[in-house]
Amino acid sequence: MKIKGLVHFVYAICLVSVLLGIQGPVHGRLLSLKKPDPENAAATARWLVSQNSWGVLNTISSELGGAPFGNVVSFSDGEPGKGRGIPYFYLTTLDPTARNALKDQRASLTISEHPIGTCGKTDPENPTCAKITLTGKLKLADKDSKETEFAKNALFSKHPEMKDWPKNHNFEFFKLDIENIFLIDWFGGPKPLTVDQYLHTRTTEYAFILGFLI
């Protein structure tokens, strides 16, 4: 009977999770909230950026004849529930991405819905498994500024191990100044979405739900 009770308890937890739209913890910290309606491009874009912990950051490779060079990076747009939509990074010039950006700031960050766990069995290239590319300039954040403090809290809250990364590797905070947004979240091609719409969409509702859950 004890085992039967345990099985019922696990079923109940699963049911509550599904009803609340929780897909499980990402790195044990960030809860994935329900995906917005694909019709709401700005909310979907902000959801993709806030719920993901990593993406591919692309720069122009000065070492490979100007080739577009993608690199797997961790990023954050804010502490859980406090994202602002601007991705911040913690990079070292021991890695080509930071070196490239310091020579040519043109860059893009590409994120898939797939790692969030909400695509199910849908193919990652299928337009209903959302994807976003933020294109702009990859810049070193001003040292000792309020923004750098925000970037530090944003990154270290979602990527706790970063604060222990080797000091002598000279990691620094970078940000992507977004100039263009390419969002696919349904059939019919990219969704029209301006940077202004993206940055100023109302995310209060999501922040409230997150605040309630954690």
Terminus-to-terminus CA distance in the chain, angstroms?
33
**Span near its own copies by CB under 8 A; candidates 15-23, 76-84, 102-110, 143-151:** 102-110
Question: At its nearest, how many Å lie between its own copies and the CB of residue 178?
Answer: 12
Q: Is 54 in the site for its own copies (CB under 8 A)?
A: yes
Judge contact between 131 and 184, C-beta under 8 A. Answer: yes
Among 167, 189, 192, 204, which residue sits at the site for its own copies (rule: CB under 8 A)? Answer: 189
Alpha carbon distances (Å) from 6 to 9, 10, 12, 16, 37: 5, 6, 10, 15, 36
Q: Is 192 in the site for its own copies (CB under 8 A)?
A: no
C-alpha span between 63 and 78 (Å, rounded): 32
* Nearest residue to 184 via CA among 121, 124, 137: 124
Strand partners for 206: none
Q: Is 133 in the site for its own copies (CB under 8 A)?
A: yes
Q: Is 106 in the site for its own copies (CB under 8 A)?
A: yes
For its own copies, the binding residues (CB under 8 A) are 3-4, 7, 27-28, 53-56, 58-61, 64-74, 90, 94, 96, 106-112, 114-115, 121-126, 131, 133, 135, 159, 161-162, 180, 182, 189
